[in-house]
Amino acid sequence: MSAQTVKDFIYTKFETLPNSGLEEEDPFSRGEFEVIKELCGHLPETIEGKRKIDIIIDKCGTKPKGTGIQNLRECIIQTKWKYDVAPEDKQVSYKAMIINFIERYFYIICFATYALEYSTKGYEKKFRDWVDDKKELKTMIENGKDKLEWSRTVDAEMLEKLKEMMADPNYKENLSKLIRTIYEFAFQTYSDLPRGPIKNNSMKKLCASTLSEILPQEISERVNKKIEDNPNTSHDFITLVGMVSYF
């Protein structure tokens, strides 16, 4: 096999990605997490390392683009979606998984950068030594691996509008409009999520927490007392709407 054939084979396998729509996806799909952006800003040579490793990550992803193993960037995003709708006890494990994925992604980019620098030098320096020479990297990933929006930032203006609607003495007459507005509020907040169970559950959870937040104190106390008196009472949005209508 000629050297050119080997070179062409390596280029096809590791430098190209058929039908890649990566440039059209959102920043997280491109792997632009805060600590990764910090890494690329601090060490410009990691930009090329990231570009090359992203091609390999995509080749490991879902078919038809990948081989069906695992796309590390997508794992971070999908696990974050699960975290958003999980109860608090499960969020702990999901958060640990997300942080682990981000840390792994960070060091894979570092390794790709190291390989680009030392592959032609016979790897005369070990990767461990390469990292040790750049002590700021360990501090960077330690401080930045959990820099994600762990809770959604909601529209404060919309929330105030909902509170005004709920404070109206005739709020029951406008309850259908209130419910519709809360659903629209939740939809806007999770507009970036694709359709499916995760998006639906995220919206339902936000609807319930939003309604609880805007309740006048008197009604809120009655609802909370009813829930305390019957621990089996569901905290879902429909149940809360029913109790609000009753009171």
pLDDT at 194: 76
What is the C-alpha to C-alpha distance for residues 105 and 71, in angstroms, rounded to an integer? 11
Say if residues 163 and 214 touch (Cβ distance below 8 Å).
Answer: yes
Helices (H), 60-146: 72-85, 88-118, 127-133, 136-144
pLDDT tens-digit series, residues 57-108: 998 887 777 777 889 999 998 898 888 878 778 889 999 999 999 999 999 9
Q: What is the pLDDT of residue 1?
A: 58
Provide the whole-model pTM.
0.69
With both helix axes pointing from N to C terminus, report the angle between 156-167 and 175-189 in degrees, rounded to the nearest 10.
170
Give CA–CA dist 220/236, Å, rounded.
15
Q: Please tell me the distance from the alpha carbon of residue 231 to that of residue 247, in angstroms, as a whole number.
A: 19
Q: Based on the number of CB atoms within 10 Å of its own CB, is 238 exposed (0-12), middle (13-18) or buried (19 or more)? A: exposed
Round to whole Å and give the CA distance between 51 and 113: 10
Find the helix or strand (DSSP H, E) in which 183 lies: helix 175-189
Per-residue pLDDT of the chain (247 residues; tens, 9 = 90+): 565 554 554 555 556 555 554 444 678 888 999 999 999 999 999 999 999 999 999 988 877 777 778 899 999 988 988 888 787 788 899 999 999 999 999 999 999 999 999 999 999 999 999 999 999 999 999 999 999 888 776 678 878 888 888 887 777 777 788 888 888 888 888 887 778 887 888 888 888 888 888 887 777 877 777 777 776 666 678 778 777 776 6
Per-residue confidence (pLDDT) for residue 179, from 0 to 100: 85
Q: Describe the chain by its helix, strand, coil percentages, rounded to 5.
A: 70, 0, 30
Instruction: Calculate the CA 235 to chain-centre distance.
Output: 25
